[in-house]
Amino acid sequence: MFAVIKKELKTYFYSPVGYVFIGLFLIMFSIFFYIDVFQYSSTNFEYIFYSGATILTFITPILTMRSIAEERKNGTEQLLLTSPLSITKVVIGKFIAATIIVIITEICTFLYFGILCFFGKPHITTALVTLLGFLLLAISYISFGILASSITENQIIAGVITIGFFILTWFLPQFSDIFTNFSLINMFSKFPSGQIDIADTVTYITFTILCLLLTVIVMQRRKSVR
C-alpha cells in the first residue's frame, strides 16, 4: 500500500497535477482572503473556508479524475491487478495519496493565519476545527472522485461526473428540505464556528468509506464480468 502512495505522490509532483491543484487553490483562496480581510476588514480566518469549500468543489476532480481512469486506459491496471497487491490496497493507496495533497494545501493556508496575526487575534482552536472540517469535506469529495474515475475510462467524463454530483448535492436543498442532510458542502457550515458536529463528522466518514467500498466493488466486478 505504501508503494502505491509513494508512486501516486511521485506522479502528482512529476506531472503538473499536484502543482496545479495546490496553486489554483491558493490563488483563489488569496483572492477571497483579500476580499474578506481588506474589503470587509474582518480578521476572521475561519470564514474564508466557506469560500474554500466552494473552490474545493470545483477543483477536486483535478486530483481524482485520472487516478483509476488513466490506469485503465494505459493498461497499467493490468500490472496492478496481476501483482500480489489486493484491489482494496490499491484504492486506499490512491485515496491516501490524494488526501496528502489536500493536507499539504491546508498547511500552506497557515501562511494566511500568520498574516492575520499581525492585524488581530485569530483563534487557533477554531482554525484547527475548521481545517479538520475542511479535511473531512475533502476526503468525502476525493473518495467520490475516485469512484467516478473507476467507472469510466475517460478522465474528462470522470471529472464532469464528479463536479456534476457535487453541484447537485449543493443545490438540491434549495428544492426540498429533505436533501439538506445529504448536502456535503452544507454539512461543512458548522465547522468554521468552532463546533465539531458528530452527525456531520460521521456522515463524512461513512460517505468516504461507502465510496471507497463501491470503488473496490466496481473494480472487482469488472474483473469477473467481462
Partner 1 sequence: MNMLTGYIEQTEGEIVIDGYNMLKKPKKAKKEIGYMPEGVPLYTDLTVKEFVTYMAEIKGVDRKLRKEKVQKIIEKTGLNDVQKKLIKNLSRGYKQRVGMAGALVGEPKILILDEPTVGLDPKQITEIRNLIKELGKTHTVILSSHILSEVSQICNKVIIINKGKLVAIDTPENLENKVSNNNSIYVTVEDTENKMKDIKEKIKEIKKLELVEENEDGTKQYMIESKDGVDLRKILFTELAKENITIFEMKKADSTLEDAFMKIIEGGNK
Its sign, for the CA torsion 219, 143, 19, 157, is positive
Residue 100 near residue 9, CB atoms below 8 Å: yes
Q: How is residue 48 written as a grid cell?
A: 474564508
The HSE-up count of residue 200 (CA atoms within 13 Å, CB side) is 21
Taking CB under 8 A as the criterion, the residue among 20, 24, 81, 157 binding partner 1 is 81
User: Should residue 224 be labelled a site residue for partner 1 when binding is judged by CB under 8 A?
Assistant: yes
Contact assessment for residue 182 and residue 169, using Cβ atoms and an 8 Å cutoff: yes
217 touching partner 1, by CB under 8 A: no
Contact region with partner 1 (CB under 8 A), list: 31-39, 68-76, 172-180, 190-198? 68-76
Give whichever of 73 and 190 is closer to partner 1, judged by the CB atom. 73
* Site mask for partner 1 (CB under 8 A), range 3-32, x = bound: xx-xx--xx--xx-----------------
**Count of positions (residues) in the chain:** 226
Instruction: Identify which of 192, 170, 212 has the alpha carbon closest to the alpha carbon of residue 56.
Output: 170
Shortest CB 71 distance to partner 1, Å: 9
> Which of 76, 174, 193, 206 is in the footprint of partner 1 by CB under 8 A?
76
Instruction: Please identify which residue in 20, 24, 80, 172 interacts with partner 1, judged by CB under 8 A.
Output: 80
Whose Cβ is closer to partner 1: residue 14's or residue 40's? 14
Amino acid at residue number 135: L
Q: From CA 173, how far away is CA 166, in angstroms rounded? A: 12
Of 198 and 225, which has the nearer Cβ to partner 1?
225
SS3 226: coil
| Residue 60 CA from chain centroid, whole number | 5
From the list 74, 174, 181, 206, which residue makes contact with partner 1 (rule: CB under 8 A)?
74
Q: Which residues bind partner 1 (CB under 8 A)?
A: 2-4, 6-7, 10-11, 14-15, 74-86, 223-224, 226
